């Protein structure tokens, strides 16, 4: 009697997992949306706020917002795996598989630029002075002040997929629980100060164009007719 009950419970649990996985895949498979948005400069503040809200809904709040220069960068977030069927950030089975077999995260960057913007071409005769420092008043630091710009503005977004790599990995011979990491005594060891810094190295491996379109579609829906 107990074995029959256990078998029934297992079947119900398996159906529940499959249902949750299918629901998560169906919720995250929306890939339709524009590849860029154009709007008049008088709606720039509305678009900027809508972009920040779009990444907040994805669990990636902005960590850098430059309203004058037109840049928003969001906090990276680990991608969902098949062990998290409630996550809706994967658009197809390929993403589910890649994010399950590898530890990956997404990084989002919005950029606002005038539609007819063309960066100045280097002439080759100028002295090399290095990059402009944050807060400096150099003319090249801010090519276009979008807060005072009058004209058509274009919004694009890049969603980078990054994969974590750990150096000195020593795999266990029996299970993944037994793996350890070698350390180099000649290198500086990160202090155990309670910070959330990543112990690994993150390498860009691609872009998530489906999420880019979803984010722009969210911004467009918030703005109305752009």
d(CA 77, CA 61): 10
- Domains delineated in the chain: 33-117+143-157+207-226 (3.30.310.80)
For residue 39, what are the β-bridge partners? 153
Q: What is the pTM of this model?
A: 0.68
Q: What is the pLDDT along the chain (226 residues), one digit of tens a residue?
A: 466 666 676 566 666 555 555 555 554 555 677 889 999 999 999 999 999 999 999 889 999 999 988 999 999 988 877 667 766 676 667 766 777 777 888 899 999 999 887 766 777 777 777 766 665 555 444 567 888 888 999 999 999 999 887 777 777 777 666 677 666 666 656 656 666 666 668 888 889 888 999 999 999 999 986 5
């Amino acid at each position: 009697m107990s074995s029959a009950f256990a078998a029934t419970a297992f079947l119900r649990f398996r159906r529940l997992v499959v249902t949750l996985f299918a629901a998560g895949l169906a919720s995250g498979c929306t890939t339709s949306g524009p590849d860029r948005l154009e709007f008049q400069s008088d709606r720039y503040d509305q678009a900027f706020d809508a972009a920040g809200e779009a990444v907040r809904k994805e669990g990636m709040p902005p960590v850098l917002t430059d309203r004058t220069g037109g840049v928003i960068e969001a906090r990276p977030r680990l991608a969902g795996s098949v062990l998290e069927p409630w996550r809706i950030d994967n658009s197809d089975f390929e993403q589910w598989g890649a994010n399950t077999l590898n530890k990956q995260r997404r990084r989002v960057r919005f950029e606002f630029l005038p539609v007819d913007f063309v960066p100045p071409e280097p002439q080759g005769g100028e002295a090399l002075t290095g990059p402009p420092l944050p807060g400096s008043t150099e003319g090249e630091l801010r090519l276009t002040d979008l807060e005072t710009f009058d004209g058509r503005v274009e919004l694009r977004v890049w969603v980078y997929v990054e994969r974590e790599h750990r150096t000195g990995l020593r795999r266990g011979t029996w299970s993944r629980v037994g793996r350890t990491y070698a350390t180099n005594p000649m290198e500086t060891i990160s202090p155990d100060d309670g910070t959330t810094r990543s112990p690994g190295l993150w390498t860009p491996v691609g872009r998530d164009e489906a999420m880019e379109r979803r984010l722009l579609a969210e911004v467009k829906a918030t703005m109305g007719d752009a």
